[in-house]
Amino acid sequence: MFVKNRDYKIHFGEKYNKLLVLSLGEIRKRRKYFLCKCDCGRIVEIRIDHVLSGNSKCCGCSRNERKIIHGDSMSNKHARLYRIWNGILQRCTNPNNPSFNRYGGRGVGVCEQWKNYVAFKKWALESNYRDYLTIDRIDNDSGYSPNNCRWITRRENTMRAHRGIKHSKGEFNGKRFEHVDRNRAIGS
């Protein structure tokens, strides 16, 4: 897939200096931003004309880059949100993901709308997302969608998670046993 306009043509998955272009980001003040992954692992939204011109060669991790990129790096504050989104997508759609069994494998999916990061981000910001909150599925057997998700604190999430765990304690042949069936991951 590529995006084209008068001034440029860009392919997703292409690399410019240290920046790998992942997907279309937001449009701010009529400027197009793209989601890029830097060699250092950080995910940032960067103005595409800066990426193409070489004005932005990395996420800002190299010292001599910092000055140039500063104006755009405010988008770094959303790197956590991107990680959350990517985590959801991986758990629900990638059979090689270690958590797939507990999500995609048992029918917990992602709605079509949220397969697009920008749509997810829009929902998150309109739903009072904060960096200290975690995403919660209201109905643990339903998937990730605007109707079934909300942002709650880690503490609330842990409490909910414990409620979802089947706990059995008892004695068998004179030995005490405790069985925990953890069908719900904390922080999910």
Residues that bind Zn ion (CB under 5 A): 38, 40, 42, 58-59, 61
Name which of 79 and 118 has its Cβ closer to Zn ion: 79
- Label residue 47 exposed, middle or buried (CB < 10 Å: 0-12, 13-18, 19+): buried
Helices (H), 14-147: 48-53, 63-69, 79-93, 117-126
CB of 40 to Zn ion, least distance (A): 3
Which of these, 72, 52, 48, lies nearest to 60 by C-alpha position?
Answer: 72
Min dist CB 41 to Zn ion, Å, is: 7
Q: Provide the minimum distance between the beta carbon of 37 and Zn ion in the complex, in angstroms, as a whole number.
A: 9
Residue number, 18 or 121, with CB nearest to Zn ion: 18
CA distances from 106 to 90, 143, 182 (A): 14, 10, 14
Measured from the CB atom, the residue of 70 and 106 that comes closer to Zn ion is 70
CB nearer to Zn ion: give 72 or 136. 72
User: What type of residue is 44?
Assistant: V
Q: Give the H or E element holding residue 156.
A: helix 154-164
Q: How far is the CB of 88 from Zn ion (least distance, A)?
A: 24
Judged on CB neighbours under 10 Å (0-12, 13-18, 19+), 86 is: middle
- For tokens 């995006």, name the residue: 3
Q: Which is nearer to Zn ion, 45 or 136 (CB)?
A: 45
Rounded least distance, CB 29 to Zn ion, Å: 24
